[in-house]
Amino acid sequence: MSIRENLLRKIENKTLKVAVIGLGYVGLPLAVEKAKVGYKTIGFDIQDEKVNMVNLGQNYIGDVVDSDLKKIVDEGMMSATTDFSVVAEADFIAICVPTPLDEFQQPDISYVRESTIEVAKHLKKGSIVVLESTTYPGTTEELLMPLLEEGSGLKCGEDFYLAFSPERVDPGNLVYKTKNTPKVVGGVGKEATEVVAAMYRNVLDGDVFEASSPKIAEMEKILENTYRNINIALVNEMAIICNKMGIDVWEVIDAASTKPYGFKAFYPGPGVGGHCIPLDPYYLSWKAREFNYHTQLIETSGIINDSMPAYVVERSSKILNRFKKALNGSKVLILGVAYKQDIDDYRESPALEVIKHFELEGAEVTFYDPHVSEYKYSGEVKVGLDKISSDIISEFDLVVITTAHKDVDYDMVEKSSKVIFDTKNAMKNISDREKIELL
């Protein structure tokens, strides 16, 4: 029986054994969905805490239902380990590790490289490896394939299959989760694509798009996030221009949104955060230099978005000046440090940069976030307020809203504040606008 036939048979009868490398925001939901439909799944992570929590059926990811994880662990369908040798038991290995930027804004693919080297040591004939981590076009064939072949002594396409299938995780999205989000698959060869697509069709409810190569799948993921990054930069620049002209950019967007075609609304803010949008365009810019091409529009959008935290502080200084207050020594309350509303994820959150800029200007900064009690940034741990009240709010010279969490009493904030700089239009339903200044 060929590798293709064997894998398709195991997919069909649910005897395929799955290993998921990395149990974070991407890996854990993916592992849970695979185990829920009947595939025996082993999760791997280098963090003991995550492994122990999974084995106890304790969830730590917002997009995973607590009872789902508990059920599949209790039934023996899922377990976790720090031992890479478990890969030897797996037919299907998904690599879901971080792909951050280094201090020079260049791709840091060390987690992908190290994971691949470890996988290669235990890779068995007849298995398939799928990279899910967002990265630059060419990673699967130029980095993973040689490492897997050299480390295992096996031949890609003959002894094992290799593919790329980009993660599409949107923390806090109430409609689209891992289960119902369409998937893109691009394999090294048609058979690899067919097998991975068959697996995901058995696991997920969303459509599966079969790309002609890993590079197509890698590039489409970069396009998704670059599209958002550029449009957010456009609306951020519009916000700056509108402020200078005395125009409400939020009403401008509402007006433009009435057009039923040719316009999609994006909204300004203190910058761009999360695990994808602020990072992925840099992967493409870095790779493009190999082809002697300078990505002007992409890099310009990054510059605009990266400048927004400093702009927020500059505007804040002008607001305080109207009250004859210097920024240096002023007490500032930041409302929200998560990178988007109603979640506890603060990765790459622009609010953290806003706080840093305020502190550099000598302001006394405190934060409150109903979902984030403390955060670590640049090696320093900062602890926020555990609650806010009228008495607490009234102590601050300025309140800056950097995340539009719904579970904040904005009526109380408005009544108790001296002045508010709302960078997310979170207080759009507050009728008394006298104390509120918008981005």
Predicted pLDDT of residue 281: 83
Alpha-helical regions (H) of 18-87: 27-36, 48-55, 66-74
Predicted pLDDT of residue 63: 82
Distance between CA atoms of 426 and 216, rounded to whole angstroms? Answer: 38
What is the residue-level pLDDT of the chain in tens, covering all 439 positions?
799 999 999 999 999 999 999 999 899 999 999 999 999 999 999 999 999 999 999 999 888 999 999 999 999 999 999 999 989 999 999 999 999 887 777 889 999 999 999 999 999 999 999 999 999 999 999 999 999 999 999 999 999 999 999 998 887 888 888 889 999 999 999 999 999 999 999 999 989 999 999 999 999 999 999 999 999 999 999 999 999 999 999 999 999 999 999 999 999 999 998 777 778 888 888 888 989 998 999 999 999 999 999 999 999 999 999 999 999 999 999 999 999 999 998 988 999 999 999 999 999 999 999 999 999 888 889 999 999 999 999 999 999 999 999 999 999 999 999 999 999 999 999 988 899 999 9
Tokens at 423, concatenated = 């960078």
**Domains observed in the chain:** 3-212 (3.40.50.720), 228-438 (3.40.50.720)
> Which residue type does 158 have?
E
With CA atoms as reference, report the closest residue to 381 among 362, 400, 367, 401: 367
Predicted pLDDT of residue 206: 86
Strands 420-422 and 364-368: unpaired
- Candidate list 96, 156, 242, 276, residue with the active-site label: 276
Give the chain's radius of gyration (CA, Å): 24
Distance between CA atoms of 392 and 401, rounded to whole angstroms? Answer: 15
- Rounded alpha-carbon distances, angstroms, from residue 161 to 125, 183, 197, 207: 9, 18, 12, 22
Distance between CA atoms of 259 and 123, rounded to whole angstroms? Answer: 53
Contacts of 408 (CB under 8 A, 6+ apart): 335, 336, 370, 388, 426
Predicted pLDDT of residue 219: 96
Residue 149 in contact with residue 204, Cβ under 8 Å? Answer: no
Is 242 known to be catalytic?
no
Contacts of 354 (CB under 8 A, 6+ apart): 270, 271, 309, 312, 313, 334, 400, 402
DSSP string of 270-289? S---SSSTTTHHHHHHHHHG
Distance between CA atoms of 314 and 356, rounded to whole angstroms? Answer: 13
Predicted pLDDT of residue 216: 97
Distance between CA atoms of 175 and 31, rounded to whole angstroms? Answer: 20
Residue 398 in contact with residue 418, Cβ under 8 Å? Answer: yes
pTM here?
0.91
